[in-house]
A and B are shown apart, each in its own frame.
Chain A
Amino acid sequence: MLGFAQLFASRLVKAAAILIAIVVMNFFLVHAAPGDPAMVMAGEAGAADEKFVAQLREQFGLDRPLYEQLGTYVAKVVQGDLGFSYRQQRPVWDILAERLPATLVLTLTAFLLALAAGVALGTLAAIAVGTWADSAITVIALLAYATPIYWIGLMLSLLFSIQLGWLPAFGYETIGAGYTGLAHVADVAVHLILPVITLALFYMASYARLTRASMLEVRGLDFVKTAKAKGLTQSRIVTRHVLRNAILPVITVAGIQAGQLVGGSILIETVFAWPGIGRLAFEAVLQRDYQVLLGIFLVTSIMVILFNILTDILYGLVDPRIQVSQ
């Protein structure tokens, strides 16, 4: 177990170093784009002369040399201060804190659903390889994988909300209803169904295909023959021997995709008017709201790093060989 703690600690130290590099890189990336917030704000205000723009720049500290701006930014980030959005006249952290839960609820639910359904379908297809069930699952997975995600969202919402009227078409909760407690949870859950299914379908398809391929490969390995020669039942062979080994590549891919969850739901949030980080990022780009954008980048980077560490730990738990080689 000491090796495990050591592994975890070393990963954390590496993660911190990577995070600082990301902060610096993000800063330059954002400033490399043409235009600045002062210009956008001045443009929106209508009649803007050079003096007004210069005044805005001075107010936001945009007239300072780049390295000075970077120094200020990094120093503040290290202290946990993500800055102040002059566009919205609120601290960036407050804006993010408001939007983050909605995105996390949406993407995590979709991710877990996709993982469970994908692995189950992939396993089924692999067991019944060559039969109609296998073909059906393969075709469904292919369709879900190939169809544009926003189109699926639109069609689902057209069918279930507009035609059938079963589910709300958009939003995070019923506006103005003022639910509290369990009623609030139920309200959010109903709003969740369509966006979650839409997002999950895409990921599910890739997990199903991956699981199927991996199962078929593992099924031909020697130790599965050993398991059969022991006279084990088919279900025990599949769950204990084949699936456990076949799941390893799925964990790798899922770990990579989990990191992108926060940033990867922009389309879904737009289609379903979901008040999450994705839409916030989109708006911040249009408005050149550097501080918010940098905040979002930072949060998504932390997510990626966090999920990578999580994947490594999970991998170490599932595969005993990993701890040794590290």
Chain B
Amino acid sequence: MTTPLLDVPLLDVRGLSIALPPGADRPLAVDNLTFTLNPNEILCVVGESGSGKSMTAHAMMGLLPAPHVRVAGGSLLFKGRDVLTMPETEQRSLRGGRIAMVFQEPMTALNPLMRVGRQIGESLREHTDLTAPARRARVVELLAQVGLPNPAELAEAYPFRLSGGQRQRVMIAMALACQPDILIADEPTTALDVTTQKQILDLIRSIQAERHMGMMFITHDFGVVAEIAHRVAVMRHGKLVEYGPASDVLNRPQHPYTRQLIASVPHYIEHRDDHAKAGAPLLVADKVRKVFNVGGGLFKKSKEVVAGDDLSLTIHPGETVGLVGESGSGKSTLGRSIVGLIKPDSGRILFEGTDLLSLDRKGFRPYRRAVQMVFQDPYASLNPRHRVGDIVAQGPVAFGEDRSKALARARDLLAMVGLDGSAADRFPHEFSGGQRQRIGIARALAMEPKLLVADEPVSALDVSVQGQVLELLDDIRRRLNLAMLFITHDLRVAAQVCDTIAVMRRGRIVEMGTAREVFTHPRDAYTRSLLDAIPGKSWHIPDDLQKVPAGAH
């Protein structure tokens, strides 16, 4: 590497403002933002959704959705030259050439109709003079560098053949193709499983160190920040609220917002006291097995996918059982089987001693009340055409309750989950994600269930909102002595809210025990690798920001 010009930063953002179209919730998406990025440095930009962190990156790459969203002021200096005033052709040669970007969603960020090798080669074609065979060779080399097996073969594959982690590696190879000076990574690991996240973070960090790139890493996860950041910029509502070396921001946060964000980070290893199991179990799942048939037709045999096999667990009244595992491990299959949305192929599900699987539709109906579900996506799980009051009251009305009575109770429940009285007359789209999840919880509670199955109830929410919803769930659990099956991929969340933890992998429960046992003495190698992959383990959250873990007495 040539001697870095330390007086001229790689990237110098001065007073950047980005205007939103009239009618948006605020006039400026990014308001007077100033920061610098040096070579060989990882700058983490942290903030919740809507804080303007992605907008900043998009402005740099010329990706703002013109003409509605535009840069309203300030400058973006790359090696001393303003990117914003450059002619379009020059900007284009920077994009993908000198400044490259990796996006959040690896499943949709690649063109589904183009072989991955060609997609990487396109970048080389645009920015280098390499011949076609030389480009192909370079693509294979790049795929090998990002740790993909059989790179030559993989270059010929279409994206749908690759897993999420593999696709993100392809995206990184694409970004590295022209040896950029700056790599912008916009939440590159958020959509990935925890073990895959660890691998990708390790890869990004080693590549950054090897090439001395300047890196802008956008994230909402302070665990990830603690893993990789050299410097941290915290954004809120488009403004920079705190900016400094990682050790300062993480260990001695100054701004109240930063302190609030760090305080709501779920604490690893903080577990509850053991739950005193009392009385007969509420629910027993016994050797549940579910096989899905995929594909197949008149002339082709379908493929069998075992989503769950030999799944057994018990839930006692008042107990919260956490079902933890990566995507595709079968945890939702078990959850849905218990609620009766899926019919398992074999096994028994006993609710207060009655085998739910042996019941017919009519016989099952009373149990629909007793077991309720809170869904993952608060945006898709509420009917957009119904008023919130009706959504909450619908269940009881379907079970024969008087409509006006049910509506009155719906109002009480909405108040109980922390929404004000007018909420019942409004439509779901008028609420934020966290508020919608509260509505989803109120809807489940309206049925007066004995068991609540919560399928990733907080994974679509920002950290601070996540904390609030978890507190609400815990409060309700204690007040109503509800039993809960809590499905999550996030061990930190599970540690916070669960009494008992079942770890799932490839359709099987590999370990089950009290939260204390599982987190302090994991017996299974897979559990250990999951615990090991939690980002930011070595970071000790400042003592004054550690709140009392939910549920501790």
Contacts and interface: CB of A to CB of B under 8 A. Distances in A.
A321 B100 contact: no
A228 B61 contact: yes
Contacts of B237: none
Interface stretch (B90-98, B245-253, B490-498): B90-98
A230 B122 contact: yes
A223 B108 contact: yes
Contacts of A244: 111, 113-114
Interface in A193-212: none
B62 interface: yes
A20 interface: no
Contact of B123 (A225, A230, A320): A230
Contacts of A240: 111, 114, 122
A232 interface: yes
A233 interface: yes
Interface string A1-30: 000001000100010000000000000000
Contact of B109 (A14, A226, A325): A226
B113 A229 contact: no
B113 A228 contact: no
A38 B160 CA distance: 62
B295 A325 contact: yes
Q: How large is the interface on B (under 10, 10 to 19, 20 to 34, 35 or more residues)?
A: 20 to 34
A226 B171 contact: yes
Interface in B96-133: 96-97, 100-101, 103, 105, 108-114, 119, 122-123, 126-127
B363 interface: no
B525 interface: no
A228 B109 contact: no
Contacts of B62: 228
B93 A231 contact: yes
A222 B92 contact: no
Contacts of A241: 111, 114
Contacts of A230: 95-96, 122-123, 126, 174
Contacts of B408: none
Given A222-B109, A225-B109, A231 B299 contact: no
Contact of B103 (A10, A225, A232, A318): A225
B110 A226 contact: yes
Q: Identify which of B100, B103, B299 gathers the most chain A CB atoms within 10 Å of its CB.
A: B299
A319 B100 CA distance: 28
A218 to B, nearest CB: 10
A227 interface: yes
A14 B297 CA distance: 12
Nearest to B101: A229
Contacts of A232: 92, 96, 122, 126
Interface in B220-243: none
B299 A6 contact: yes
B298 interface: yes
Interface string A283-326: 00000000000000000000000000000000000111100111
B526 interface: no
B416 interface: no
A245 interface: yes
A175 interface: no
A164 interface: no
Contacts of A236: 122, 126
B112 A231 contact: no
B70 to A, nearest CB: 15
Interface residues of A, number: 27
A231 B95 contact: yes
A231 B295 CA distance: 39
B158 interface: yes
Interface in B491-511: none
B100 A223 contact: no
A59 to B, nearest CB: 45
A223 B300 CA distance: 33
A307 B299 CA distance: 22
Interface in B123-175: 123, 126-127, 158, 160, 171, 174
B209 interface: no
Contact of A223 (B61, B95, B109, B295): B109
A6 B297 CA distance: 12
B324 to A, nearest CB: 29
Nearest to A245: B113
A221 interface: yes
A230 B108 CA distance: 16
Contacts of A233: 92, 126
A226 B101 CA distance: 8
Contacts of B297: 10, 326
B63 interface: yes
Interface string A68-99: 00000000000000000000000000000000
A227 B109 CA distance: 9
Interface string B63-88: 10000000000000000000000000
A325 to B, nearest CB: 7
B105 A321 contact: no
A229 B103 CA distance: 10
A245 B103 contact: no
A6 B301 CA distance: 13
Q: Identify which of B109, B113, B171 gathers the most chain A CB atoms within 10 Å of its CB.
A: B113
A245 B126 contact: no
A318 B254 CA distance: 56
B120 to A, nearest CB: 9
Nearest to A14: B298
Nearest to B171: A226
Contacts of B109: 222-223, 225-226
A231 B171 contact: no
Nearest to A130: B67
A10 B160 CA distance: 25
Contacts of A222: 103, 105, 108-109
Contact of A231 (B105, B113, B126, B298): B126
Nearest to B118: A240
A239 B285 CA distance: 54
B76 to A, nearest CB: 15
A318 B110 CA distance: 16
5 contacts: A222-B108, A229-B103, A231-B126, A320-B160, A325-B295
Given A221-B108, A222-B105, 11 more contacts: A223-B108, A228-B61, A229-B103, A231-B92, A231-B93, A232-B96, A233-B126, A244-B113, A245-B112, A318-B113, A325-B295
8 nearest CB pairs, A to B: A231-B96, A231-B95, A230-B96, A222-B108, A223-B111, A229-B101, A320-B158, A230-B123
